[in-house]
Amino acid sequence: MTHNEFSREIDIRQAEGKAVHVEANEAERAALAKRFGLVRISNLEADLMLNRSGERDAEARGTLRASFVQSCAVSAEDIPVEAEEPLFFRFVPQATDYNPDEEIELDADDCDEIEYSGTHIDLGEAVAQSLALAIDPFLTGPQADAARKAAGIGSPEDQGPFAALKGLDLKN
């Protein structure tokens, strides 16, 4: 398993009915903020309940809570964000017969699977990846419109394909 910024490995053989709290320390939060392009992460934690779903499969359900500061996509101002997301992970053994040239079909349930090798699953990395999905890549703050006007850029509504129709008088 590769080294991750926020690693909390759990032995899958001891996962049945286990409640786990994972929380990133200051150094881990700083490394994750850099990885995800955030100004800073003030808090990142998750409470999970682990259960076995087969001989070598495990599931984790719980809630992620995070507080972070993100830059506005337009004005670059700092915007504080609070996130609370439901979590569901299914950990399955890494497939050994994978051929990179072979076409495979995935259904919706397969997309939520996290492969692991050996006997340990990494809850920290799973939580970190869930945080990445919770980040709005186009977050705009209250100063975004002023920044657009100062740069000579109209609002997104003024530049869309129907912007030219906006000024038409369509009354009969």
Mean pLDDT, rounded, of the chain: 85
pLDDT beyond 60 at 1:
no
In this structure, are residues 21 and 51 in contact, taking their beta carbons and an 8 Å threshold?
A: no
Q: What is the pLDDT of residue 82?
A: 97
Helix (H) or strand (E) holding 69: strand 58-71
Cα 38 to chain centroid distance, Å, stands at 12
| 37-96: pLDDT as tens digits | 999 999 999 999 999 987 788 999 999 999 999 998 878 889 999 999 999 999 998 876
Quickly state the pLDDT bin for 153 (edges 50, 70, 90). confident
| Measured distance CA(164)–CA(172) in Å, rounded | 19
